[in-house]
């Protein structure tokens, strides 16, 4: 038992030491290696869903009629999916015609598996020309920026993530502030002076002062004024213009 405790203690010390040692050495191939589990996750997920799909739509021995019914159900689902995808891609094309800095479109294949971070993974990486800090948007508005860029995949930090902060302004009053994510469905707009008149539904657009987000991009709308009289600044709850839970394709804007 004593030996076990010594082994555990040594292991724990090595863990702590390595966490500090490796904090600043993460780059290139190491990042690729770190994302490997996610690729395995994605592949295993599609295998699992494929297995269940085959199980559900397997040819029935009772008769061809039932098989035909299964085929029709599959076709109908495919048609509905194709129709929805067409609508989304049409929106993406509209964005392409509207924005001269439009770069490419990508498909979302996974989200963060935990409750702590709001990130998406897309199916394009630096082999497709994607770079760090490109703006990810849909026709409805900005959703975030690219963070980790690997060969064929990249992560997007959503504007609702705790690590996100965007320089913004209120479209009506032109007052400038910082839009911060809190890990939930909404964001918080800070540093708007309390003497500025703010109303629910006011549009929040990027100011371009952070050097990352070009100015004039819609990020969300004022949902609630959490505190206005407690200090010199308002604390404003902002609902993202794009519902962040239902994103399937994103457009990337160049810098």
Partner 1 sequence: MKSFLIYLAALFLLMAFQAVFISGAKPDLPLVLVCFYSLGHGAVLGGAFGALAGFIADSASGFLIGPNLFSKFLAALFIYNFRRKFFVWNAVLCMLFITGITAADMAFIFFYIRMFSGIEPPSLFSLTAALQVVYNSAAALLFYRVIGAEDGFPQRAPWMSANT
Binding site for partner 1 (CB under 8 A): 4, 7-8, 11-12, 15-16, 18-19, 22-23, 26, 30-31, 33-38, 40-42, 44-45, 48-49, 110-117, 119, 147-148, 155, 162-163, 182-184, 245
Closer CB to partner 1, 35 or 95, in the complex? 35
Q: How far is the CB of 245 from partner 1 (least distance, A)?
A: 5
Closer CB to partner 1, 76 or 113, in the complex? 113
Q: Which of helix, strand or coil describes residue 60?
A: coil
Closer CB to partner 1, 67 or 112, in the complex? 112
Closer CB to partner 1, 187 or 218, in the complex? 187
User: What is the maximum span of the chain, computed from C-alpha positions, in angstroms?
Assistant: 74
CA 15 to chain centre: 30
Closer CB to partner 1, 119 or 206, in the complex? 119
Q: How far is the CB of 239 from partner 1 (least distance, A)?
A: 16
Distance CA 156, CA 122 (A): 8
Q: How far is the CB of 157 from partner 1 (least distance, A)?
A: 9
Q: How far is the CB of 88 from partner 1 (least distance, A)?
A: 17
Distance CA 180, CA 166 (A): 7
Distance CA 46, CA 98 (A): 35
How many Cβ atoms sit within 10 Å of the Cβ of residue 219? 25
Q: How far is the CB of 110 from partner 1 (least distance, A)?
A: 5
How many Cβ atoms sit within 10 Å of the Cβ of residue 68? 10
Alpha-carbon distance values, 109 to 106, 122, 156, 233, 238 (Å): 9, 6, 11, 39, 26
């Amino acid at each position: 038992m004593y030996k076990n405790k010594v082994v555990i203690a040594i292991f724990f010390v090595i863990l702590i030491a390595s966490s500090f040692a490796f904090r600043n050495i993460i780059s290139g191939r190491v990042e690729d290696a770190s994302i490997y589990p996610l690729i395995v996750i994605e592949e295993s997920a599609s295998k699992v869903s494929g297995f269940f799909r085959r199980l559900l739509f397997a040819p029935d021995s009772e008769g061809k009629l039932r098989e035909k019914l299964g085929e029709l159900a599959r076709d109908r689902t495919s048609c509905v999916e194709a129709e929805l995808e067409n609508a989304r891609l049409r929106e993406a094309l509209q964005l392409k015609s509207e924005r001269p800095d439009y770069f490419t479109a990508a498909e979302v294949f996974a989200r963060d598996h935990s409750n702590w971070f709001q990130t998406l993974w897309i199916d394009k990486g630096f082999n497709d020309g994607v770079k760090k800090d490109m703006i990810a948007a849909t026709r409805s508005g900005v959703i975030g920026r690219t963070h980790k860029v690997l060969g064929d995949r990249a992560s997007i930090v959503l504007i609702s993530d705790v690590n996100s902060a965007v320089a913004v302004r209120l479209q009506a009053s032109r007052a400038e502030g910082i839009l911060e994510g809190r890990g939930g469905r909404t964001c918080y707009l800070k540093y708007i002076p309390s003497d500025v008149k703010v109303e629910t539904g006011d549009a929040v657009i990027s100011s371009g002062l952070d050097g990352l987000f070009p100015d004039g991009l819609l990020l969300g709308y004022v949902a609630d004024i959490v505190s206005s009289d407690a200090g010199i600044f308002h604390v404003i709850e902002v609902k993202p213009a794009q519902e962040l839970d239902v994103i399937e394709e994103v457009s990337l804007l160049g810098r």
